Amino acid sequence: QKEVEQDPGPLSVPEGAIVSLNCTYSNSAFQYFMWYRQYSRKGPELLMYTYSSGNKEDGRFTAQVDKSSKYISLFIRDSQPSDSATYLCAMSERATNKLIFGTGTLLAVQP
């Protein structure tokens, strides 16, 4: 079993839709949870960062962490064609300081 599981998609939604991206994980020691966005032929860029459980909002983006279920989510409101990219979840534990990535979900927002 992989430490981090992420549905690879592709996920296609119409412009303006609410998008929900998810990851599950097995290591209960993970404390830091990140979402990266990767456009085609570019490196990943950090989008959201959350420590432990709870929600974090930044503009149209909301990150949620449910440690009891070992489940994290990224919500995108009012999705735009410019949001079309691959979204990667990543997480780490303080002991190792090493990021473990999901495989990424390819999102396409149709105008």
Partner 1 sequence: SAVISQKPSRDICQRGTSLTIQCQVDSQVTMMFWYRQQPGQSLTLIATANQGSEATYESGFVIDKFPISRPNLTFSTLTVSNMSPEDSSIYLCSVEDLRFGYDTEAFFGQGTRLTVV
- The distance of closest approach from Cβ of residue 11 to partner 1 in the complex, given in angstroms and rounded to an integer, is 15
Cβ closer to partner 1: 39 or 71?
Answer: 39
Cβ closer to partner 1: 48 or 79?
Answer: 48
Cβ neighbour number for residue 67 with a 10 Å cutoff: 15
Cβ closer to partner 1: 4 or 79?
Answer: 4
- The distance of closest approach from Cβ of residue 7 to partner 1 in the complex, given in angstroms and rounded to an integer, is 12
List of E strands, 19-60: 19-25, 32-38, 45-51, 54-58
- The distance of closest approach from Cβ of residue 77 to partner 1 in the complex, given in angstroms and rounded to an integer, is 23
Could you list the residues that contact partner 1 (CB under 8 A)?
Answer: 2, 4, 8, 32, 34, 41-46, 49, 51, 88, 90, 92, 97-104
Do 17 and 10 contact (CB within 8 A), yes or no?
no
- The distance of closest approach from Cβ of residue 28 to partner 1 in the complex, given in angstroms and rounded to an integer, is 19
Alpha-carbon distance of 2 to 100, in angstroms, equals 10
DSSP 81: G
DSSP 53: S
